[in-house]
Structure 1
Amino acid sequence: MLNTKRWSVDLKKDLSTYYPQIEQAALLLQKNEVVAFPTETVYGLGANAKETDAVLKIYEAKGRPSDNPLIVHIAEIQQLHEFARIENEKAKALMDAFWPGALTLVLPCKPDALSKQVTAGLSTVGVRMPDHPVALELIRAAGLPIAAPSANCSGKPSPTQANHVASDLDGRIAGIVDGGSTGIGVESTVVSCVDEIPVILRPGGITKEALENVVGTVNVDPGLTKKDEVPVSPGMKYTHYAPEAHMYLFYGKDEDMQRYIHRYQAEGKKVGVLTTEEKKQVFSADVVYSCGWREKPETVAANLYHVLRQFDETDVDLIISEVFSEEGVGSAIMNRLQKAAGGRTLS
């Protein structure tokens, strides 16, 4: 078991105050160790993307399948040119519009520029520049492209707080940089820019509408709903984001959802409900948690993973969740809920 170091950074203070701590974390990355750090989406689990020994430690810590590719994080555009190619103007336009930010672009990868464990044997690589001062300073200090999936045990809800990371990975990684709660709360949007028309491979913090405002038509990959597809993006294969109790997505009227709650309770089961502020008084169950305001879907995205982890601290046997419009960030919310439920629905 590793002695996991932890450094706390107060974003209300001058970041230069924390350069020594960030440099300590960067030194561990240079030594091919694994360090968790905050981004504007969720906490990432970082390692040197060039070295296979380092990347394998990510898979080992997370218990992550090795055929699931990793996203490479950079702090400067110059870093991208070391390992990837920009082959069309739309890719450049998206970088100009959304970097730094919650957008991952899938680009052709230069041969032997990265560990093959990063790309899972594919000829492409996902890359993004995070919009978080600590993440950017850590990457700059390390002087490396940093492969970083979410900093949780594979399959569990992604971490939006350093305590979530510690709960899953304390003793399994070298360090955690604590930068407080993340902002967006769901992972980056992943867009393939290999062909002329960009393709969304994973919905996330940047909406389809926002992308199309910059580059026109953007397609959505049907692989998002196909279980037998080879993953070209994280989140396209395996069950993700799941709480410990089985979760069901409910499609229908509130009174019918309440009937299901009573039915399961009559069977002796403890029922949790994932709902919104507008409806938290509507449902009578053993545990009722709100993940935000239905009229403000960005609040649902920001709180979703935290609430899923809260359910793990209860003794509920199952969770019934509301569903949401798939417009805007709702597409990312429903993608995560569907994967958390593993396809289980009620109606």
Structure 2
Amino acid sequence: MKTHVWSVDNFVDKLESYPQITQAATLLKNNEVVAFPTETVYGLGGNAESDEAVAKIFGAKGRPADNPLIIHIAETAQLEAFTSGIPQSAAILMETFWPGPLTIVLKKKEGKLSELATAGLSTVAVRMPAHPLALALIKQSGLPIAAPSANVSGKPSPTLARHVEEDLTGKIAGIVDGGPTGVGLESTVIDCTEVVPVILRPGGITKEQIEEVIGKVSVDPALKNAEATPKSPGMKYRHYAPNAPLFLVNGSHAFLQKLVTEQQAEGKKVGILTTEEAVHDYQADLILACGQRNKLETVATSLYDTLRSFNDAEIDVIFSEIFPEEGVGQAIMNRLSKAAANQVITE
């Protein structure tokens, strides 16, 4: 399959009628799949009403079919077609955070969406992305768009169009290149079908921000308990992982360096994921600074690109510092824990 790549300026007026957007939207209407930027990561979009299109998403990614997809919309009016009632908590969250990196789980109307997209569940996860290209493409298609991250399942999510090309060229119909994404981590997912809303996946909107507008929320136990069954996309299987084994290190810089030295003595190429503040504290085959520890949002933005960079250097084992689980740090540690298959070495 030939994969078309369109480079589009995010700031062009009337993006919906821009030729590249029209071409990409036509592919979506024809039940092909197209990658496009959002403010979080690049998504792999397909017609959420079509089994054919959704099957192509799963096929391109190699994604397990029991893993539901998030439905992307451009206007709240689209919800009426496939959801059944909007709880007050959900309405407040939409008003406050949409467009933005927040996915809301609602009751769905039967027979409106592909059962493949919702993995046969009675609920549907929906969000409105805060990216001009994503909104223009969805509007032009006139469809609800099912869109997981545009990468091979299990690998780090794509924050640049070239990441998508590396993983999916020849497997999908098109890629809309809108430059780097912003947040760098997937959306927060919150289930508003419960009396007390439940955060199923931490992301760009923090628990603290949510509680400021709707009061107390709970957190899915599966985020901390590897044996529990998660209810959100991206939480059930090993995700976000570089090629080399990744270990999280809960200890001092000296302890981490000791681990590196031991691995190098066995002839292995060792990488370290750290931050700008500590990049000169270590010696290893590859040391990558992933943002600034005192500005965790910069770590979030850089995380996936940093994890992919270890692949380019053909590193054998990676050790990563850990981060405080406050604010966006909760989402960072969630993704790192998934990438490391929950392997933590404690001093």
Question: 1:53 corresponds to which letter in structure 2?
Answer: E
Question: 1:274 corresponds to which letter in structure 2?
Answer: L
Question: 1:278 corresponds to which letter in structure 2?
Answer: E
Deviations 1:123-173 (A, max 9, x none): 001000000000000000000000000000000000000000000000000
* Map of 1:84 onto structure 2: 83
Deviations 1:93-120 (A, max 9, x none): 0000000000000000111110000110
**What are the ranges of 5 or more consecutive residues in structure 2 without an aligned counterpart?**
none
* Map of 1:156 onto structure 2: 155
**Local SS of the residue matching 1:37:** strand
Q: Is the 8 A contact 1:49 1:144 kept in 2?
A: yes
* Map of 1:235 onto structure 2: 234
Question: 1:94 corresponds to which letter in structure 2?
Answer: L
Q: Is the 8 A contact 2:297 2:328 kept in 1?
A: yes
Q: 1:13 to 1:137 in 2, by over 3 A?
A: closer
Q: Is the 8 A contact 1:68 1:231 kept in 2?
A: no
Question: 1:67 corresponds to which letter in structure 2?
Answer: D
For residues 161 and 323 of structure 2, the distance between their equivalents in structure 1, rounded to whole angstroms, comes to 28
* Map of 2:19 onto structure 1: 20
**Local SS of the residue matching 1:116:** coil
* Map of 2:286 onto structure 1: 287
Q: Is the 8 A contact 2:16 2:22 kept in 1?
A: no
For residues 16 and 340 of structure 1, the distance between their equivalents in structure 2, rounded to whole angstroms, comes to 36
Which residues in structure 2 correspond to 1:102-117 (within 5 Å)? 102-117=101-116
Question: 1:268 corresponds to which letter in structure 2?
Answer: G
* Map of 1:338 onto structure 2: 337
* Map of 1:73 onto structure 2: 72
* Map of 2:248 onto structure 1: 249
Cα deviation, residue 195, structure 1: 1.3
Report whether the alignment pairs 1:127 with 2:140. Answer: no
* Map of 2:261 onto structure 1: 262
Q: 1:14 to 1:88 in 2, by over 3 A?
A: closer
Cα deviation, residue 10, structure 1: 1.7
* Map of 1:189 onto structure 2: 188
Which residues in structure 2 correspond to 1:8-87 (within 5 Å)? 8-14=7-13, 16=15, 19-87=18-86
Q: Is the 8 A contact 1:69 1:231 kept in 2?
A: no
Query: Which shows bigger deviation, 81-90 or 144-153?
Result: 81-90
**Local SS of the residue matching 2:6:** strand
* Map of 1:208 onto structure 2: 207
Deviations 1:233-283 (A, max 9, x none): 102201000000000000011111111111111111110000000000001
Q: 1:266 to 1:289 in 2, by over 3 A?
A: same
For residues 18 and 292 of structure 1, the distance between their equivalents in structure 2, rounded to whole angstroms, comes to 37
**Local SS of the residue matching 1:243:** coil
For residues 121 and 229 of structure 1, the distance between their equivalents in structure 2, rounded to whole angstroms, comes to 20
CA RMSD of aligned residues (A): 1.2
Q: How many residues align?
A: 346
Question: 2:79 corresponds to which letter in structure 1?
Answer: L
Which residues in structure 2 correspond to 1:311-322 (within 5 Å)? 311-322=310-321
Cα deviation, residue 86, structure 1: 3.1
For residues 277 and 245 of structure 2, the distance between their equivalents in structure 1, rounded to whole angstroms, comes to 24
Question: 1:57 corresponds to which letter in structure 2?
Answer: K
Query: Which shows bigger deviation, 246-255 or 11-20?
Result: 11-20
For residues 122 and 109 of structure 1, the distance between their equivalents in structure 2, rounded to whole angstroms, comes to 9
**What are the ranges of 5 or more consecutive residues in structure 1 without an aligned counterpart?**
none
Cα deviation, residue 231, structure 1: 4.1
Q: Is the 8 A contact 1:66 1:120 kept in 2?
A: yes
* Map of 1:273 onto structure 2: 272
For residues 16 and 342 of structure 2, the distance between their equivalents in structure 1, rounded to whole angstroms, comes to 47
For residues 229 and 139 of structure 1, the distance between their equivalents in structure 2, rounded to whole angstroms, comes to 35
Cα deviation, residue 230, structure 1: 4.4
* Map of 1:217 onto structure 2: 216
TM-score normalised over the length of structure 2: 0.98
TM-score normalised over the length of structure 1: 0.98
For residues 25 and 173 of structure 2, the distance between their equivalents in structure 1, rounded to whole angstroms, comes to 11
**Local SS of the residue matching 2:299:** helix
Query: Which shows bigger deviation, 82-91 or 179-188?
Result: 82-91
For residues 227 and 248 of structure 2, the distance between their equivalents in structure 1, rounded to whole angstroms, comes to 22
